[in-house]
C-alpha cells in the first residue's frame, strides 16, 4: 500500500464517519440501537428527529470535515506551519457565506469553544494562545489527522499542539489532538497498532482516561458498554475512539459503523475512528458506496491531491 492510499484512506475515512454519525448526533446509544435494530450505522441516513442536525439530508459531512479540510490545506501549503497560519486559514476558509468550507461548517453544528475562538481571532487575539485553558472539548482532535501526513514525527507532535491551542487551551485536549495526529502518522509509517498510548504523548489526565477506555477491550469481541455515549472532552473522545478502532481491528468498515452508532457525539467519534483506520488500512478498505455517495467529494479529492503533492517532499513544519 502506498503512502497516498493511506492519506486518501484517512481523509475519506474521517469524512465518511462524520457523515454516518451526523444522522444521530447527541442521540443516546440505546435509542440508536432500537431504531436500527443493531449497533451499527452502515449507510447514510437523514438526520433523525432529536439529533442536533435534524433536518439534514444523508451523506453530508459536518464541521469536523470542514475544519479537517482547512487543516489539510494549511499543512499542504508551502509556508512554515505556525499558529498564525492555521488561524488565518480558519478565518478565511470558514468565514460565513464566503469561505470555501463555510456551509459545511456553520450548518454542521460547530462547537462553542471553536466558534468563540474564531470570534476572538477576528477581534485580534494572539493565535498562539487563543484557546482558553478551560476549553477541553474534542474540536481540536476531530480536525487534526492531516497533520499526521507530515513526514517527521516530532513535527507532527509540535504542529498538532500548536494548531490545537488556536481554539482549545486545556492541556489534555491538546495532548488528545497530538494523539490522533501521531496515530495517523504511525499508521501511515506502517508501525504496528497497539493498545498503549502512543510514544511521545505525556499527559496524566489523558493517560488515565486511555487506560479506563481500553479496559475490557477484546479484539474481535463485542463493544464494551463503557464505549457507548462517550463524554465530549477531547481526551475521552480520542481514548474512546481508539478503543473502538482496536475492538474492530482488521475490520475498518465495522469500526466506523460501530462508532457512528455509539451514542453522543457520534459524528466526531466516528470521524476520528475513520481517520485512524483509514490511514491504517487505506482507501480500498473503506466501503465503496460510502465514498461514491459522499457529499463534497471534490473538496476531499482536492485536499488529498494537495497533501500528496505537497507533503511527499520532506517538510519539517516548524
Contact residues toward Mg ion (CB under 5 A) are 62-64, 108, 267
CB closer to Mg ion, 63 vs 253: 63
CB closer to Mg ion, 62 vs 205: 62
| Shortest-Cβ-distance residue relative to Mg ion | 62
CB closer to Mg ion, 186 vs 267: 267
CB closer to Mg ion, 28 vs 251: 28
DSSP string, the chain: --HHHHHHHHHHHHHHHHHHHGGGTTB-HHHHHHHHTSS---S--PPPTTSTT-S--TT---HHHHHHHHHHHHHHSSS---HHHHHHHHHHHT-TTTSTTHHHHHTS---HHHHHHHHHHHTT--GGG-SBTT--BSTTTTT-GGGGGSS-HHHHHHHHHHHHHTTB--HHHHHHHHHHHHHHHHHHTTPPP-SSPPTT---HHHHHHHHHHHTT--TTSPPPGGGSSB-SBHHHHHHHHHHHHHHTTT-HHHHHHHHHTSSBSHHHHHHHHHHHHHHHH-GGGS-HHHHHT-TTHHHHHHHHHHHHHHHSS-----
CB closer to Mg ion, 180 vs 188: 180
CB closer to Mg ion, 65 vs 178: 65
Amino acid at each position: 500500500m502506498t503512502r497516498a492510499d493511506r492519506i486518501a484512506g484517512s481523509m475519506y475515512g474521517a469524512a465518511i464517519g462524520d457523515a454516518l454519525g451526523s444522522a444521530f448526533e447527541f442521540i443516546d446509544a440505546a435509542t440508536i440501537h432500537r431504531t436500527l435494530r443493531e449497533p451499527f450505522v452502515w449507510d447514510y441516513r437523514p438526520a433523525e428527529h432529536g439529533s442536533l442536525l435534524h433536518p439534514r439530508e444523508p451523506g453530508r459531512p459536518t464541521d469536523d470535515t470542514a475544519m479537517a479540510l482547512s487543516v489539510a490545506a494549511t499543512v499542504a501549503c508551502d509556508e512554515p506551519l505556525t499558529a498564525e497560519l492555521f488561524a488565518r486559514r480558519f478565518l478565511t476558509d470558514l468565514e460565513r457565506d464566503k469561505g470555501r468550507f463555510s456551509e459545511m461548517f456553520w450548518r454542521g453544528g460547530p462547537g462553542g469553544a471553536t466558534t468563540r475562538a474564531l470570534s476572538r481571532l477576528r477581534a485580534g487575539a494572539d493565535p498562539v494562545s487563543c484557546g482558553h485553558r478551560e476549553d477541553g472539548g474534542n474540536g481540536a482532535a476531530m480536525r487534526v489527522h492531516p497533520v499526521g501526513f507530515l513526514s517527521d514525527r516530532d513535527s507532527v507532535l509540535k504542529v498538532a499542539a500548536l494548531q490545537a491551542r488556536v481554539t482549545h487551551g486545556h492541556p489534555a485536549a491538546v495532548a488528545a489532538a497530538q494523539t490522533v495526529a501521531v496515530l495517523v502518522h504511525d499508521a501511515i509509517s506502517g508501525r504496528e497498532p497497539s493498545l498503549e498510548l502512543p510514544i511521545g504523548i505525556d499527559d496524566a489526565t489523558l493517560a488515565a482516561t486511555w487506560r479506563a477506555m481500553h479496559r475490557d477491550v477484546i479484539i474481535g469481541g463485542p463493544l464494551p458498554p463503557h464505549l457507548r455515549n462517550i463524554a465530549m472532552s477531547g481526551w475521552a473522545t480520542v481514548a474512546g475512539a481508539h478503543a473502538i478502532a482496536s475492538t474492530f481491528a482488521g475490520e475498518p468498515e465495522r469500526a466506523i459503523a460501530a462508532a457512528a452508532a455509539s451514542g453522543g457525539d457520534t459524528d466526531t467519534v466516528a470521524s476520528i475512528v475513520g481517520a485512524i483506520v483509514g490511514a491504517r488500512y487505506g482507501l480500498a478498505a473503506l466501503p465503496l458506496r460510502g465514498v461514491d455517495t459522499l457529499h463534497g467529494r471534490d473538496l476531499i479529492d482536492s485536499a488529498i491531491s494537495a497533501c500528496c503533492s505537497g507533503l511527499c517532499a520532506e517538510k519539517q513544519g516548524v
